[in-house]
Homo-oligomer: A and B are copies of this chain.
Amino acid sequence: MDASVKSKLREIVGAANYSDAEEDRIVYAYDGVPMIENAPEAILFPETTEQIAEIVTLANDADFAVTPRGAGTGLSGGSIPSKNAVVLATNTWNKILEIDAENMTATVQTGVVTAQLMNEVEKIGLFYPPDPGSMNVCTIGGNVAENAGGLRGLKYGVTKNYVMGLEMVTATGETLRMGGKNVKDVAGYNLKEFAIGSEGTFGVFTEILLKLVPKPQKIITMTASFDKLVDAGKAVADIIAAHVIPCTMEFLDKTTIQSVEDYAKVGLPTGAEAMLLVEVDGFGSAVEDDAEKAMAALKKNGASEVIRARDAAEADRIKTARRSAFSALARQKPTTILEDATVPRSALPEMIEACQAAARKHDLFFGNFGHAGDGNLHPTCLIDERNADEVERAHKAFDEIYDKAIALGGTITGEHGVGLAKKKFLEQVVGPVGVKTMQAIKRAIDPNDVLNPGKMFSLAPRCESPLPRTQAGVEAFEERFPAN
C-alpha cells in the first residue's frame, strides 16, 4: 500500500487510532482459525460513522480492501484480513446506547461484548438469548456479521432472530439504516436480513437494535451419561418427540468429556461414551413438566446416570465446563481445527458415526461435541500443523465429513460462517446457481469489491484464497509452539 494512502488513513482516524507497526500487524493477521493468516497493511480504530465512510470511500478510490473486525474470535476466518487490506477494529465502540423496557429492545454500538449486554438486560428482568461459546469476549457486531448461534439456539433461535435494526456504512461509503422498533416491517426487500451473516462483505455495522424477551423464571439443568453414542442420539429425538423444546441440549463425546474434566474438574462422567447436557426453562409448572418428560426420555434410552443440578451454582459449573470444550481440547495438541457440520436433527446419530469413522480411517485425534438439539456438531481435530502429512489427513477427513453432512441434507456451517475456511465447500451446498446469485448481488452492492473481498466466495480475478501464511505469521507460530 502506497505511503500516501497510509498517511491519508492516519489523517482520517488520527495518529492515536492508526497503526502499521509490525507487532500489531501480526496480532491482527489471524482469528480463531488455524493455518490461515494474512497481515493487514494497517489497523484503524475509527471513532465515528463518518470516519468509516471516509475510509471506505478512500478504499474505492485507492483500490485497497477493508476487513471489519470485532473481537477476532471467529472460527471461519471471516476477520482474517483480505489481501491488501486495512483492518477496521470496532471493539472500542462498546457503549450500550439504550435499553427500552417498554418496547423490549436494546440499542448497542457494534463493539459491545455479548455477555456485557446479557448481564445488563438481566438486571431489569429481560433476556438476550443468543449465547455463542465466546460470549465473554465476542462482540455483537461480530455476532451479527456471522449470524452467531450458541447453546440456546433450539428454543430461542440465533442472532438473526434478535436483530430488529441495523445501521451500517455501505461499500460505497453511504450510511444505510435498516429496520427499527417495529415488531413487523415489510417495507421493501429484507436488506437487514440479508446483512445478517454477510461476513463483513455488505457493510460495516455501526449500531445495532436488538430484540429482548422476558427472562425465564425457572431453569432446570440435567446431565445424562451414556455407554453408547447412538443412545444419546435417540434420547435427543425422544425428547423432541415428547414436544419438549429444551433451551439447551448439548452433546459431548468421550474425548471431549475427558478433556473438559481434566481442564475444569467438575466431576464429569469420564468413563461414559457420551454425555448430554439438557436444560429446560420457562415459566410456571411447565418447566417441571418438561424436566420430567426429558428425564423420562433420557432414562428410557439407556442413560446410565441422570443427574439434576441441585442449584444454579452447580448448573453454572457444568455449563461453564461445556463452554470450555474448545479450550480444553485445544490443550491436547498445538493446532485445533474446530468444525461446524450441521444436519437435520434426525440425522444426528449417523453424522456422529461418520465423524468417528473419518477419524479412525485417517488415524486422527478427534473430539466431538455440539448442539444436539440443532443437529449442529463441532467435530474437532487436534493436530500439529508442522506435520504436513497429518494436516493432509485432517483435510481429507473433513472433506469426507462434509460430503456426508451434505448427503444427509445438512450444511457446511451451522453458526461459524463460510469465511475462508469453508469456501471450497460452498458450491457443494448451495449449488452453482446459489453461488452465482450471491456473486451477482455482491457485485451490485460492492462494485469495486472493497468490503472483505474473498470471503465466502471470490469474484475473479481478485482475492483468490486460501491466503498464504505470511512469514511473520510463521515466526509468531514458531515462537508460540517451539519445535520439540
- Measured CB to CB, the residues of A under 8 A from B are 100-104, 125, 146-147, 149, 153-154, 157-158, 160-161, 170, 174-178, 180-191, 193-194, 196-198, 213-215, 237, 240-241, 243, 245, 282-290, 342-346, 371, 373-376, 409-418, 422, 425-426, 429-431, 433-435, 437-438, 440-445, 456-457
Determine the chain B residues whose CB is within 8 A of the CB of A430 once the complex forms: 178, 187-188, 191
For the complex formed, measure the closest distance between the CB of A240 and the CB atoms of chain B, giving whole angstroms: 7
Choose among B160, B180, B188, B433 the residue that contacts A438 (Cβ–Cβ < 8 A): B188
By a CB distance below 8 angstroms, the chain B residues around A176 are 431, 433-434, 437
CA gap between A457 and B188 in the complex, in Å: 8
Residues in B whose Cβ lies below 8 Å from that of A213: 245
Which of B186, B198, B375, B440 is in CB contact (< 8 Å) with A146?
B186
- A sample of 12 cross-chain residue pairs with beta-carbon separation below 8 angstroms, ordered by A number, consists of A176-B433, A177-B431, A182-B343, A182-B344, A186-B413, A187-B426, A189-B198, A189-B438, A189-B441, A285-B286, A437-B445, A440-B444
Query: Are B186 and A415 neighbours in the complex by a CB distance under 8 Å?
Result: yes
How far apart sit A204 and B431, CA to CA, in the bound complex (Å)?
18
Find chain B residues with CB under 8 A from A438 CB.
188-189, 191
A161 and B161 in contact, given A417-B186, A434-B176 (Cβ under 8 angstroms)? yes
Q: Cβ of A411 and Cβ of B180 under 8 Å apart?
A: yes
* For the complex of A and B, 6 pairs with smallest distance between CB atoms: A284-B286, A214-B243, A444-B444, A193-B193, A181-B344, A184-B414
Determine whether the beta carbon of B191 is less than 8 Å from that of A197.
Answer: no
Across the interface, do A186 and B418 meet the contact criterion of CB distance under 8 Å?
A: yes
In the bound complex, what is the Cα–Cα distance between A245 and B127 (angstroms)? 14
Of B102, B153, B240, B411, which one neighbours A104 at CB under 8 angstroms?
Answer: B240
* A153 and B194 contacting across the interface, CB-CB below 8 Å: no
In this complex, which of A147, A182, A373, A445 has the most chain B Cβ atoms within 10 angstroms of its Cβ?
A182
Q: Please tell me if the beta carbons of B188 and A415 are within 8 angstroms of each other in the complex.
A: no
Q: Which chain B positions have C-beta within 8 A of A149? A: 184
Contacts of A440 in B (CB 8 A): 444-445
Question: Assembly of this chain: how many copies?
Answer: 2
- How distant is the Cα of A342 from the Cα of B285 in the complex, in angstroms? 35
Contact between chains at A103 and B345 (CB < 8 Å): yes
* A422→B188 CA distance, assembly (Å): 10
Specify which chain B residues have a CB less than 8 angstroms from the CB of A434 in the assembled complex: 176-178, 188, 191
Q: Cβ of B183 and Cβ of A418 under 8 Å apart? A: no
Bound state CA distance, A413 and B190, in angstroms? 13
Closest CB-CB distance, A426 to chain B, in whole Å?
Answer: 6
Q: Is the CB of A181 within 8 A of B409?
A: yes
Distance (Å) between the CB of A151 and the closest chain B CB? 12
Select from chain B the residue with minimum beta-carbon distance to A431. B177
Cα of A430 to Cα of B429 in the assembled complex, Å: 33
Are the CB atoms of B102 and A182 closer together than 8 Å? Answer: no
Q: Are A182 and B375 in contact (CB under 8 A)?
A: yes
- Closest residue to A426 on the B side, CB-wise? B188
Closest to A177 in B: B431
A177 to B180 alpha-carbon distance, docked (Å):
30
Q: Which residues of B contact A186 (CB under 8 A)?
A: 146-147, 197, 411, 413-418
User: Given the complex of chains A and B, what is the CA–CA distance between A287 and B286 in angstroms?
Assistant: 9
Choose one: B101, B103, B194; the contact of A190 (CB below 8 Å).
B194
| A344 proximity list for chain B (CB < 8 A) | 103, 180-182
A405 CB, min distance to chain B CBs, angstroms: 9
Q: Which residues of B contact A445 (CB under 8 A)?
A: 437, 440-441
Of the residues B185, B245, B416, contact of A214 by C-beta under 8 Å: B245
Nearest CB of B to A102, in Å: 4
With A183-B376, A444-B440 already in contact, the answer to whether A433 and B160 are too (CB < 8 A) is no
A465 to chain B, nearest CB (A): 15
> Within the complex, what minimum Cβ distance (angstroms) separates A418 from chain B?
6
CB distance from A298 to the nearest CB of B (A): 17
The 8 Å CB contact of A193, one of B160, B345, B444, B456, is B160
Q: How far is the CB of A380 from chain B (nearest CB, A)?
A: 17
A101 to chain B: which residues have CB within 8 Å? 241
Q: A194-B193, A283-B289 are in contact. Are A433 and B170 (CB under 8 A)?
A: yes
B residues less than 8 Å from A175 (CB atoms): 433
